[in-house]
Amino acid sequence: MNSTTRSKAFALLFSLSLACTSSLFFCSTAEAAVAEVSVQQLLNMVPGSGPIVVEFYDPTDADASGECAKQKPIFEKVAADYAGKATFVRLDISKARAFAESGRFTVCPSHLFLDHNQPEPNRISKRHWGLLSERDFHDLLKEYFNVQ
């Protein structure tokens, strides 16, 4: 990781730690695509990208509950419901283990809700660990981003 990437990662992780204590596109069609992103792509998205929901998952996870597999169709359905209002992306933590560990995204699935278009102190960085229902997503998106 070069120094610029490290600086961006630190800035993102710093905003995540604050949340714990307190290029891609917007789809305009009815069928939204959930893009797979790398750490670098995610770091480049944050400034000025509008509301972003990131799903951290691990396809190699041998968890008997299969929560990552159960979450995928729910996440894709919600992404389609909010096409044009928020960007939904997925990050495979098996390809970015150090980043996931440094951000404490090792529980899968984990979700990060970001909206850095707002001025301080109204910026949003919230995270959730574990499986979310479609209703949970709708409630959180309304609460965090005021979108319906």
Domains of the chain: 3-145 (3.40.30.10)
pLDDT of residue 32: 52
Range 63-73 average pLDDT: 79
pLDDT tens-digit series, residues 12-24: 544 443 333 233 3
Angle value at C-alpha 17, between 45 and 89, nearest 5 degrees: 30
Contacts of 31 (CB under 8 A, 6+ apart): 80, 83
- Tens of pLDDT, residue by residue over 79-122, are 999 998 899 999 999 999 899 888 888 888 999 998 867 666 66
Here the tokens at position 71 are 């979450």
3-class state of residue 111 by DSSP: strand
Choice between 74 and 148, residue whose per-residue pLDDT is larger = 74
Percentage of residues of the chain with pLDDT beyond 70: 66
| Residue 24 confidence (pLDDT) | 36
Residue 53 has pLDDT above 90, yes or no: yes
Phi, psi of 39 (to 5 degrees): -60, -45
pLDDT of 3 over the 70 cut: no
